[in-house]
Amino acid sequence: MTTSFMSSPKYLFTSESVAEGHPDKLCDQISDAILDAIYAEDPYARVACETAATTGLVLVMGEITTQTYVDMPTIIRDTIRDVGYTRAKYGFDNETCGVITSIKEQSPDIALGVNKSLEAKAGEMTEDETIEMVGAGDQGMMIGFACTETPELMPMPIMMAHKLCKRLAQVRKDKTLTYLRPDGKSQVTIEYHYGQPARIDTVVVSAHHDPRATHQQIEADLIEHVIKAVLPAEMLDKNTRYFVNPTGRFVVGGPMGDAGLTGRKIIVDSYGATVSQGGGCFSGKDPTKVDRSAAYAARYVAKNLVAAGVAERLQVELAYAIGVARPVSMAVETFGTAKIPEAKIVELVKEHFDLRPGAIIRDLRLRRPIYKPTACYGHFGRTDIDAPWENTDKADLLRKEAGLG
């Protein structure tokens, strides 16, 4: 969204989410389950774990340097089982699928920059400070965002889409709707008036199901037990459109219906395309990879600034160079909602947030096995998981420093 939408009398915007049984999301969960298992024993491991899945087969590949051993095939099969692929008639299940692993150590050339940053090599830091002078594990741009549309300080379309997919999993697992299977998608279109959410215009839910269930039954059940159970009634009206399994059938799903791959749902993982998107995915990467850790830090910065009242909508872009600790650039965009000059906001960020990778890892306590729960329903706006980047512990200080009370 641009500044112009804030002055538009009517503006439609859509975001999507996918269920935990979606083939790409299944791969994200497998990659993060392996990361968590390694981090539980070796929090200084270097992990870049990618997963691919297709009919009857899972391939895990990547670069992992660690002092511990984990049973990857068991972790993979346990994750598939927990998601719900437990029967061969689904076309993919935890017991009969093939599992292939192809793992090597992290490139020594990359390790040169991560083990000791350019600044530390140049002698710019004291010996104690070099502990936190881990170099960025890659170049790239990372985006953080927050806004006042929801209590979680997230865009409303993506939060609504996530809630629909979580509800799909809930009614499947608690047997409210016994014919549901693990795959699924949701999409929510919000109508904005002058930058504020006014109503839900369109809802799309596609749910993987048993072939014996009729379309009429699925449509009625999902509107009652999923859509109206989680979406606010005051946002729905007689003109809201509902599309449930629009093709009329969704029997072939999961890796049988579509090949899956780690990192292919980066819009779902972040802000639903409300703002710019960083270049890398999150899942399967340890926090020396700034694709993940700096994206979490950027969200932490943006959320604290919005919670402090500095702006109603705020985007932070960070950029890094491989092997260099400090960001090479930082940009702030407030879409015309800033209460103080944006130059002052940049000063506040530089003064109160240490955005070197080592400091991010320290301050957000990222050397812990906390990653698998992030692999579904978004990495941001989460109150149901251990997500330190969602804390607003600096909001009061920032409000005071900004002169806002």
Among residues 13, 22, 172, 402, the one annotated as catalytic is: 22
Among residues 5, 78, 199, 259, the one annotated as catalytic is: 259
Among residues 24, 119, 138, 221, the one annotated as catalytic is: 24
| 24 in active site | yes
- Burial (0-12, 13-18, 19+ Cβ within 10 Å), 39: buried
Query: Which string of b and e fits 342-360 if b means at least 16 CB within 10 Å?
Result: eebbeebbeeebebbbbbb
Among residues 63, 82, 342, 354, the one annotated as catalytic is: 63
Among residues 77, 264, 356, 372, the one annotated as catalytic is: 264
Among residues 78, 124, 219, 258, the one annotated as catalytic is: 258
| 50 in active site | yes
**Single-letter code of the amino acid located at 163:** K
| 354 in active site | no
Q: Whole-angstrom Cα distance, residue 281 to residue 203? A: 27
Among residues 162, 163, 285, 292, the one annotated as catalytic is: 285
| 10 in active site | no
| 289 in active site | yes
| 312 in active site | no
| 400 in active site | no
| 259 in active site | yes
| 258 in active site | yes
- Burial (0-12, 13-18, 19+ Cβ within 10 Å), 199: middle
Among residues 13, 92, 145, 250, the one annotated as catalytic is: 250
| Element holding 191 (H helix, E strand) | strand 180-193
| DSSP per residue, 9-66 | S-EEEEEEEE-TTSHHHHHHHHHHHHHHHHHHH-TT-EEEEEEEEETTEEEEEEEEE-
Of 132, 143, 139, nearest to 361 by C-alpha is: 132
| 401 in active site | no
| 265 in active site | yes
Which residues are bridge partners to 190 per DSSP?
13, 200
Among residues 46, 166, 209, 289, the one annotated as catalytic is: 289
Catalytic residues: 22, 24-25, 50, 63, 185, 250, 258-259, 264-265, 285, 289, 291
